[in-house]
């Protein structure tokens, strides 16, 4: 497959590197020092399995240098979704698939409204990766990727993409309802982003304190109530599954939003925690705990400059 990675940071760089190593025709779209390093020396990927490899990287900051592809992995931050979708038209041919690997639940609709219907499928990646240094990606956790058509059909293009990711060493699931998978991930990251950002603490300290543990569970329960009111078919066991998983997190775990907060970078606040608050208001579902976290973090939404 001819694949473009739109946003070649941690997630995009990792998947792009793995797919390229497996023989796919991968093109990276990046910027700044990371782009220059890839152009000069290729892309190095370090995995949680103690693997390290380097690939030659066809990298650019301009999608017109690439032209139409079979698959676009859309990996930018949620606050850049709309503007980025406007510049990917050169990548889109009649049969191009765009697969969002972003947080949040609105990205597919936003992208489709800009590039036109029929191109976008849904996906969720339970993978943690970051730019270790320009031109170097480090993956620290890799559980699975879930992908599928938004209408639930198991189409040939979904099977082709699944095969490509599996050949690249990824565990892939194709559910009948991708929205459940997208919402389930949102609920988990909303909960942990809220609690780790507000407390500034890692998992070990959060779950060692009964009151903070209860607050964490309360934020999760509010999100599940909003999802159910929004007619998402959330399994009745999800709350207990998440609460059990929370206790297995590494002691030093903090959500990725915390690392953006600590570094003074803009936050995906409105598309993660904020979406639960907004939908709760719209659907008449109270979300006082989630709102308190959202309101506490709102001054930092655009970064910490000047605070």
CATH code of the domain containing 226: 1.10.1040.10
Domain range for 272 is 180-300
From 68-77, 142-151, 247-256, 278-287, the region with the lowest mean pLDDT: 247-256
* Alpha carbon distance 85, 80 (integer Å): 8
In a domain, 97, yes or no: yes
Question: Closest by alpha carbon to 248, among 212, 306, 203, 307?
Answer: 203
Residue at a domain's end among 176, 193, 217: 176
Residues 14 and 74 grouped into a single domain: yes
Q: Is the dihedral of CA 81, 84, 86, 89 positive or negative?
A: negative
Residue 206 inside a domain? The answer is yes
Same domain assignment for residues 264 and 172 = no
Together in a domain, 170 and 199:
no
Q: Tell me what the mean pLDDT of segment 1-16 comes to.
A: 97
Quick check: is 57 in a domain?
yes
Mean per-residue pLDDT of the chain:
96
Q: Which of 139, 158, 176 is the last residue before a domain boundary?
A: 176
For range 120-139, the mean pLDDT: 95
113 and 168 share one domain: yes
Do 172 and 186 belong together in one domain? no
187 and 130 share one domain: no
> pLDDT by residue (tens digit) across 272-307?
999 999 999 999 999 999 999 999 999 999 998 667
pLDDT of residue 307: 72
Decide which of 147, 176, 205 is a domain's last residue. Answer: 176
Q: Total structural domains in the chain?
A: 2
pLDDT at 21 over 70: yes
Position 81 pLDDT exceeds 90: yes
- pLDDT mean over 30-40: 97
Pair (133, 196) in one structural domain:
no
Is residue 67 in some structural domain? yes
Give the span between the Cα atoms of 51 and 151, in whole angstroms. Answer: 37
- Does residue 125 share a domain with residue 164? yes
Q: Cα(184)–Cα(38) distance, rounded to whole angstroms?
A: 34
Same domain, 164 and 56: yes
Residues 162 and 134 in one domain: yes
Query: Quick one: tokens of 174?
Result: 């194709």
Q: What is the pLDDT of residue 305?
A: 67
Query: In this predicted structure, what is the pLDDT of residue 236?
Result: 96
Please give the pLDDT value at position 146. 98
Q: What percent of the chain has pLDDT over 90?
A: 94
Query: Are residues 187 and 170 located together in one domain of the fold?
Result: no
User: pLDDT > 70: what percent of the chain?
Assistant: 99
């Amino acid at each position: 497959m001819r694949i473009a990675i739109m946003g070649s940071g941690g997630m995009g760089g990792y998947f792009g590197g793995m797919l390229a190593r497996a023989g796919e025709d991968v093109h990276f779209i990046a910027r700044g020092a990371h782009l220059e390093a890839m152009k000069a020396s290729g892309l190095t990927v370090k995995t949680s399995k103690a693997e390290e490899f380097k690939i030659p990287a066809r990298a650019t900051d301009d999608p017109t240098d690439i032209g139409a592809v079979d698959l676009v992995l859309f990996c930018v931050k949620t606050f850049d979704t709309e503007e980025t979708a406007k510049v990917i038209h050169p990548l889109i041919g009649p049969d191009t698939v765009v697969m969002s690997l972003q947080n949040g639940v609105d990205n597919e609709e936003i992208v489709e409204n800009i590039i036109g219907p029929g191109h976008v499928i849904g996906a969720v990646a339970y993978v943690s990766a970051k730019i270790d240094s320009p031109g170097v990606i480090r993956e620290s956790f890799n559980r699975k990727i879930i992908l599928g058509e938004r209408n639930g059909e198991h189409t040939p293009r979904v099977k082709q993409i699944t095969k490509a990711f599996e050949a690249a060493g990824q565990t892939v699931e194709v559910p009948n309802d991708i929205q459940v998978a997208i919402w389930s991930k949102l609920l988990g990251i909303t909960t942990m982003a809220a609690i780790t950002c507000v407390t500034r603490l890692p998992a070990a300290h959060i779950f060692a304190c009964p009151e903070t543990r209860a607050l964490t569970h309360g934020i999760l329960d509010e999100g599940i109530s909003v999802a159910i009111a929004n007619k998402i078919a959330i399994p009745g066991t999800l709350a207990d599954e998440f609460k059990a998983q929370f206790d297995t997190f590494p002691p030093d775990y903090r959500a990725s939003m915390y690392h953006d907060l600590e570094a003074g970078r803009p936050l995906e606040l409105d598309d993660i925690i904020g979406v639960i608050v907004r939908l709760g208001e719209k659907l008449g579902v109270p979300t006082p705990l989630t709102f308190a976290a959202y309101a506490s973090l709102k001054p930092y939404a655009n970064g910490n400059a000047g605070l």
